[in-house]
Amino acid sequence: MLKDKELKDKIIEDHEGSSANSDMTLDRLRGRIEKIAAANSVPVDLTIDELRIGNALSNTTGNVLVLRNPEHGDDYFGLCIMFNSGGVRPVVNAYFCGNSKQLGLEMKQRQAKANRYNRVTKSLERGVKTGTSFFGTIQAFMITIPMNLASAVMSLVRAIQRNDEAIAKEETYYNNCVSIIKMAVDE
């Protein structure tokens, strides 16, 4: 059983399929994905799992498809595919789940870089909005320097551990999987 806390970034958001597939089920989607993946030589391992959303007192559950790479089961993210066919068109959402050694480090590094940028710009904007003098703005900027240096050091360590070739290969696999999922819903 998957929990909503285990889901990471969304990789497919509200993709609407063909109206001809309004009666599609999770099993039929699974079969289509397997067929298209086999035709394109993309290794996939699909299982139907239960996703629990909420906490122990108030939660809902639903069935989802979990797509994994059988060749890299422990070192690639899985894709949690949520499927809703309760309307005129089926709608698909997919999230990363599990862990990835290489891409997980890359995502952390990107997030750290965005956090550093946001801290500096917010500090400078705060000084401008409040009408703080030049010295107040400098003081706000100086407060963020130790945090930024620590974050930059951690990013450097991650950059040394990063394997660009492995990351590119993994991202290509996810792009292929996204295309296959969308084709399965669009057919």
- Determine the Cα–Cα distance for residues 127 and 123; give it in Å rounded to an integer: 6
- Determine the Cα–Cα distance for residues 181 and 10; give it in Å rounded to an integer: 14
Per the CB < 8 A criterion, the answer to whether 81 and 64 are in contact is yes
CA atoms within 13 A on the CB side of 178: 16
DSSP 108-168: HHHHHHHHHHHHHHHHHHHHHHTT--HHHHHHHHHHHHHHHHHHHHHHHHHHHH--HHHHH
DSSP state, residue 37: H
* Bridge partners, 47 (sequence order): 66
Residue with more model confidence, 24 or 65: 65
Contacts of 26 (CB under 8 A, 6+ apart): 48, 63, 64, 65, 83
Residue percentage of the chain with pLDDT more than 90: 21
pLDDT per position as a tens digit, 44-92:
999 999 888 877 777 788 889 999 999 987 788 899 998 887 777 888 8
CB crowding 44-81: b at 16 or more within 10 Å, else e: bebeeeebbeeeeeeeeeeebbbbbbeebeebbbbbbb
pLDDT at 138: 66
Per the CB < 8 A criterion, the answer to whether 108 and 13 are in contact is no
pLDDT at 43: 94
